[in-house]
Amino acid sequence: MKWNDEVVVITGANKSIGKGMASHFASLGASVVLGYRSSIEEIERIVREIREETGNHNVSYEKMDVNDSGAIEEAVGRIIKRYKKIDVLVNNAGVSYGGALIPSNPLDKWEEIIQTNIMGTINCIHAVSLHMLTAQKGSIINIASLAGLVGMERLSAYSASKAGVIGLTRSLAKEYARFQVRVNAVAPGYIENTGMVDRIPEDQMNAFHKKIAMGHLGEVNDIAEAVSFLASSKSKYITGQTLVVDGGLM
């Protein structure tokens, strides 16, 4: 596949997995747009690093607050004006907060999780889909989680939101298939140097290691490779699937 002809948009690209995916696609030669929400200084630094590391200067950024549907439509419009198309959309932006769903805990954080992880994904797909459906070409990859498949204690809202993303993936795959637009998901397991793993106490992390069949945590590039596979023509007959990347934990 000639990635230098492809335009890849990644939301939440200023975080560990998002940054890793952006760097991976850039190394393949794709034109990569990194979506971010907060610090322009941070995203400018990340873009500079990716350009230097990969030698690919077709790497740029767009402010993309996935909770603001109007702003997302405008950002996508600017990307289309610049590149004339979007070939790959990776919905990586998401939030997670720990805590049990009990009366003493307020619901505002749970509402933010559902809004960002489900409606944020929908907002991005809604903005990009017309261009892909019209071109009758495109690949959408939603970043889900093991939590959406098995449920996790003290992550009830996050688990529900990622289960929703998986259900959305399956439905949209059927809706878009006639237009040759594929929709898949990747469900990462425990990946080192990510926020979720960094918050887990060392003793619990040691217990997780014993449960993982391969005996170690995954790397960010493991997720990037899975996503690029689903984005490529090598998976041209795959849609509606959730690819679990967890070292055999499940």
Closest by Cα among 56, 73, 65 to 22: 56
Active-site hit among 36, 61, 158, 190: 158
Encoded tokens for 104 = 């003493």
How big is the chain by its Cα radius of gyration, in Å?
Answer: 17
Q: Please say if 158 is a catalytic residue.
A: yes
Active-site residues: which are they? 158
